[in-house]
Amino acid sequence: MEVSEKIAVEHGLKKEEYKKICDLLKRVPNLTELGLFSAMWNEHCSYKSSKKYLKNLNTKGKRVIQGPGENAGVVDIDDEDAIVFKIESHNHPSFIEPYQGAATGVGGIMRDVFTMGARPIANLNSIHFGSPQHKKTKNLLRGVVKGIGGYGNCIGVPTIGGQTLFDESYNGNILVNAMTLGLVNKKKIFYSKAAGLNKPVIYVGSKTGRDGIHGASMASAIFDEKIEEKKPTVQVGDPFTEKLLLEACLELMADNSIIAIQDMGAAGLTSSSVEMASKGKLGVELNLNKVPCREEKMTPYEIMLSESQERMLIILESGKEEKAKKIFEKWNLDFAIIGKTTSSKNIEIYFNNKKVADIPIDFLSENAPLYERKWKKTKLPQKLKFKKEKFKSLKVSDCLKKVLSNPNICDKEWIWEQYDHTVMGDTVQKPGGDSGVVRIHGTQKAIAACIDSSASYCFSHPITGGKQVVCEAWRNLISVGARPIAITNCLNFGNPEKEKNMGEFVECVTGISEASKYLDFPIVSGNVSFYNETKDKGIKPTPTIGGVGLIKNYKNMISMDFKKQDNIVFVIGKTEGHLDQSIFAKDILGEKKGPPPEVNLFNEKNIGETMLKLINENLIESAHDVSLGGIIVAISKMCIKGNMGIKFKKFKSLVNKFEYFFGEDQGRYIVEIEPSKIDKVNEILKNNSVHFDNLGVIEENNLSFNGELNLPIEELAKTHKYWLKGYMEN
């Protein structure tokens, strides 16, 4: 096929990008070369709209071993141990083919982690769907959950946490963000930088097929009515092969034979070979006749762009080929020497004894276009003034039951019970709490992990929303007694060519960066997913934050379930009664406007550090951060988890009871304290200038308040748990 501007545009390239390619090469590229450019210059691989702003993120910290730029981030957790972790999106594939899209998203992020020498120890996910009333939502949810569970369960890695949210902005573009943590000896971390001349380039894993071709380009495209035609771009996963690949790679790594290693993820053999060579400032020569293929008559174009799963590319020490081959054959995996490193600084591709591509590596990587997109600021909305008449006919009990059954607050057990969260035997806090927790096998240490997003807050005011989602991760880790270490992000946005969408991205990143710096909570890895848009309708800005924290002794871990009758319940942090953008305002008052709650970073840090002091001194029995739904929802969840009730005190407050109970002010925690420890807790809180309110006393069976609220915990639990199960079963 003769390459033309029209063909280039069909490959997702802009006309001016095609001209740049021709100018760089000083000739028209052939079809295979054009395919390489389309893969490496798409948004998913080149970050051409986002790179400028990502450079401003806070990526350094005393525990950071490896920040962004590798397959995953790495942080020190003391002794000889380190945690490798990252979050990735698989949004477009999951919308097209929910089971395989979600499954291969899990498989891909696990490969990113074990590529660095780490054994995966935990998975998490953040999944977003359209309105529950939308005709596609239920089937998409069912397929995605089955895909996540099907892959993670089969490979034997526990899924310890997650988040599921619904909003009509995801009707045409669901989000599937997958996160994996792995454990590695910090002296045995592997990287993707090629080194040395004439070193063998090794292909290992599954055979190459025609599945997933143009997957990376599709991930950088807007959907239209021809979405069904994109199904062939979705990869097909095999978790059993991935398990074999994991064990084989870890076995070879123990032999110190590997110079560099890279997962064949987005853009397959193209991106893995180009990125490794680029980092090492080397060239690479590939013979595609050596690549193991499962389909006949595959062309160089197809081989280079295939995104078939469970494959790795390795730069091996010379002389180690035979030993490596025996390891992979033992695990019943393909092993092939497909090329070598060179001094040319080009990627040279041969097929049937002919050179079919010859491109300077820098043209594909360093010379990829970088755009300075125009963007528009989002004004802070005016605060709403709720008239007293709005509250007159309302009952706290009715409002609570409605809010507890909201799709974004209701119990998600129907989802996480389909995931194996106990495999490997180290899960010490399962899904459903603030953070999942796994112990480091053979030690007293444990790692807490959480995953959070806040699209409504980000849509209302992106800078504030960006700060909030970082702080939410901070609080979720602290609530289980973990010292927050670092975060990973997955930045999900609409079309960056639109000024409003680009503005949302820039300002969310600004907010994330400010919070990360202030809290000393560095960002060590991440992913950007643009073009989440269908028929000119984009998603709400949805930055997802994955947080990781360290518990030095897992026996000191805190959970959210109330423990004992007659214990005292405090809310730590000040309540102002902020209802704008709250679940209460939307569900009860029918109001979707207004600003998100203010984020005070000084208070977040001060209160968080104070909470850790209280936990470390064994002064708290249970804890839960206050987020969606406010104080009364947080307490209701603690009641349900512990099968205990609470008798609220009549509080003195400048706000009315609905604002007090349902307001979503930030920087707050609910804690349970034994009466004998109250004085000590009071002392610490006052010494640290932390505001707190005594909310009441734990009792056996009811949630009660001032004679106007008296709900049995059994009834609350039924209300909280019914919606999702009923929705999926009807």
- What residues are labeled active site? 44, 90
C-beta neighbour count of 301 within 10 angstroms = 21
Burial 692-716 (b: 16+ CB within 10 A, else e): bbebbbbbeebbbbeeebebebeeb
Picking from 666, 660, 724, the residue whose alpha carbon sits closest to that of residue 695 is 660
Is residue 285 a contact partner of residue 329, using CB atoms and an 8 Å limit? Answer: no
d(CA 621, CA 608): 16
Helix (H) or strand (E) segment spanning residue 271 = helix 268-280
Helix (H) or strand (E) segment spanning residue 75 = strand 73-76
Is residue 270 a contact partner of residue 213, using CB atoms and an 8 Å limit? Answer: no
Q: What is the 3-state secondary structure (H, E, C) of 166-206?
A: ECHHHCCCCEEEEEEEEEEECCCCCCCCCCCCCCEEEEEEC
Residue 594: CA count within 13 A, CB half-sphere: 21
Query: Using CA of residue 682, residue 688, residue 689, residue 690, what is the dihedral sign?
Result: negative
| Token pair 């053979």 in the structure block, residue | 442
Helix (H) or strand (E) segment spanning residue 15 = helix 15-25
Query: Using CA of residue 89, residue 90, residue 91, residue 92, what is the dihedral sign?
Result: positive
Is residue 32 a contact partner of residue 357, using CB atoms and an 8 Å limit? Answer: yes
d(CA 571, CA 669): 6
